[in-house]
Structure 1
């Protein structure tokens, strides 16, 4: 029994020595391990009480060693200190500057002047009516095919003048006879229905119905009266915006301020300014690529009139013989054009909406076939003087039309802007006839 106890003690001492050896190896890698020293036990017979104390101390020493190793696995730790001053972040999200308040503008809408463009001569059995082709005194000549007297067409044109005439029997042309106590009155309806320009759905003249009367007193004194025709004008506003702020504005006659009223009469000129706002950006030049007019905000609605097309060709002047044109460029980020007022023939709404595609390029880039502002006046002319880029306006501009764009053509920004509604009203006029 004593021999067995002795062998067991030796086994325990061997195991204890192995653990101490591993503990010493770890302690040599950590400075803190020096504080905790373990002493190997002598290989001599000891009592059970001495063996228990020895095992307890060894367990405590081993626990301290593991704790120190866990706290500092890589030995001494050093703190890294930032060297030198650190520049604070000064970047901020870009903000759109506030739009300055509009200045008060002294504006008075010009009222149309009553023209004297109809004359009547009443004979004993015939009526002779003369109508000036400039019926509304606005410089626009009416088409003879659109003018009738009670359904009867124009007889002819007075030689050497721009005067149309009718010469018919009193009982013809759907005349209406009324009898009063002292007079016999023949009444005719002189009707003008404007026709659209060829190839377009628009017209620049208002319709009119003019009452023409011949009064015959019972003593054979003859007199004639005519009613004054009237028509109604029209109006517009809005601004467009994009990533870069593209916009369209109505301007005063001298372009000094934005127009405070959006009402126009037929025959007036609409001043439109297209611009691009540049915030923290290189200087840009803006172009009007295309513009379409419709009666509703939907750009694809019918009827529609494309008055700027083919990458900046203002075709209205060529199609309708109007004076519409681009103004010479005064600022790179603005382009201005004048458009003669028009209305849609037979339209159900008096409103017109204009939607334009605007493009911006680097101000240093020259104009080209895809970026231009061309007007028609006995030929195509460019607003910036580079007239050769307008040579494609009668065909197709750009690579598809065989006209190469400049090397800068690919660097551009694009957006849409709109004006609307433009309300078209016909100012009713009456024409005083002869007595």
Structure 2
């Protein structure tokens, strides 16, 4: 008999306090409540004869209209709340596919979003998501551990100033965009042109800027965002596209409404990679029709200069502005690539899979039970 059993359970006369080891056996601590389930941007809920799918409205730039372009297989949205769109359908409709495996069975379908497009670019991203209900025939568990051997070290790299200017993408806090980060379709992308401190520049200007899907500045397709010697032409199409003031006028900041080229609308693994190419020049602090940073204001329907309220320097943006630099002496500067993806891309890319659930399991806030 174990040490616990040899003493604490021995019969005796009278009463005494219950020994601590016995308390632990007969009065175990109350179990803590499980944390509430965490839901994603696209959720699937499976029952014996139906599939419920919901998607967050915040994923869309125009959430009130997105339902028109959403489908699960061949079926349309048939329920919505302030925060979600819902598809509530039985497993025998909407073009659902059944597949029988040795250990499980699946019912799968595809959630698609196909907004309308105009022109060569898209600022609302189409996507498709595989949605699956998976029912296991056998249940088992196993564990496997792997502990990598990490080795620290130091890497030395030679730095070189390859250009008079630097053109880089930034996040909304004006921190350099990390390789793991990405911009979101329909939201602003941020950029800055900087001049090395050794230069005696007074102010930095952009003659033209365009975006391509490759590092080749001569590649097609391309989309022009700045043209006509300093006119942010894309500001007429997107309010996110504009020049942004900065205390140091040798640094030129601006934003561009994120988009994807229409011919590459299928989401590749890891998102799209885009490149910005700009023709940059140094000039005097006072702008001119040849050297300026003009943004179109949709409210006033007028062009405004970044640091000078003199409207005359921007008036040529609706015509042809004179050039201050001969074409053969201009230099194009290209940015590092950046990634572009849809909202919550990593979570949406994952197929929504839910194993065999009971009615208690699918009684989730926001889902209608049949």
Same fold (TM over 0.5): yes
SS for the counterpart of 2:336 is strand
Q: Counterparts of 1:302 and 1:145 in 2: how far apart (Å)? A: 32
Q: Counterparts of 1:327 and 1:386 in 2: how far apart (Å)? A: 14
- The alpha-carbon deviation at position 390 of structure 1 amounts to 4.2
CA contact under 8 A between 1:296 and 1:351: conserved in structure 2? Answer: yes
1:34-53 maps to which residues of 2 (within 5 A)? none
CA contact under 8 A between 1:286 and 1:335: conserved in structure 2? Answer: yes
Residue range with higher mean Cα deviation, 290-299 or 425-434: 425-434
CA contact under 8 A between 1:248 and 1:418: conserved in structure 2? Answer: yes
- The alpha-carbon deviation at position 387 of structure 1 amounts to 6.4
Q: What is residue 90 of structure 1 aligned with on the other side? A: none
Q: Counterparts of 1:207 and 1:303 in 2: how far apart (Å)? A: 21
CA contact under 8 A between 1:239 and 1:418: conserved in structure 2? Answer: no
SS for the counterpart of 1:427 is helix
1:217-366 maps to which residues of 2 (within 5 A)? 241=163, 245-251=164-170, 253-255=172-174, 259=176, 261-267=178-184, 270-277=189-196, 283-320=201-238, 323-345=240-262, 347=264, 350-363=272-285, 365-366=286-287
Q: Counterparts of 1:326 and 1:115 in 2: how far apart (Å)? A: 38
Say if 2:93 is the partner of 1:172.
Answer: yes
Q: Counterparts of 2:67 and 2:208 in 1: how far apart (Å)? A: 33
Deviations 1:56-100 (A, max 9, x none): xxxxxxxxxxxxxxxxxxxxxxxxxxxxxxxxxxxxxxxxxxxxx
Deviations 1:145-164 (A, max 9, x none): 653212x1534674x74644
Which of residues 107, 114, 120 is equivalent to 1:186?
A: 107
CA contact under 8 A between 1:145 and 1:153: conserved in structure 2? Answer: no
Q: What is residue 386 of structure 1 aligned with on the other side? A: 309
Structure 2: stretches of 5+ with no match in the other structure:
1-37, 138-159, 355-360, 363-370
The higher-RCO structure (CA 8 Å, 6+ apart) is: 2
Q: What is residue 337 of structure 2 aligned with on the other side? A: 421
SS for the counterpart of 1:134 is helix
Q: TM-score, normalised by structure 2?
A: 0.57
CA contact under 8 A between 1:360 and 1:414: conserved in structure 2? Answer: no
- The alpha-carbon deviation at position 209 of structure 1 amounts to 1.1
Aligned length: 279
Distance 1:253 1:216, change over 3 A: closer
Distance 1:369 1:421, change over 3 A: same
Deviations 1:251-299 (A, max 9, x none): 46544x6x27334224375432113458676x43221222111112222
CA contact under 8 A between 2:79 and 2:88: conserved in structure 1? Answer: no
Q: Counterparts of 1:180 and 1:120 in 2: how far apart (Å)? A: 21
Q: What is residue 107 of structure 1 aligned with on the other side? A: none
Distance 1:417 1:172, change over 3 A: same
Q: What is residue 398 of structure 1 aligned with on the other side? A: 321
- The alpha-carbon deviation at position 354 of structure 1 amounts to 1.1
Distance 1:192 1:319, change over 3 A: same
Distance 1:196 1:125, change over 3 A: same
- The alpha-carbon deviation at position 378 of structure 1 amounts to 3.5
Q: What is residue 135 of structure 1 aligned with on the other side? A: 59
1:105-184 maps to which residues of 2 (within 5 A)? 116-118=40-42, 127=51, 129-135=53-59, 141=63, 143-144=66-67, 146-150=69-73, 152=74, 154-155=76-77, 158=80, 161=82, 163-166=84-87, 168-178=89-99
Q: What is residue 80 of structure 1 aligned with on the other side? A: none
Query: Higher helix fraction: Structure 1 or Structure 2?
Result: 1
Distance 1:202 1:264, change over 3 A: farther
Structure 1: stretches of 5+ with no match in the other structure:
1-113, 218-237, 400-408
Deviations 1:117-136 (A, max 9, x none): 44557788665544333338
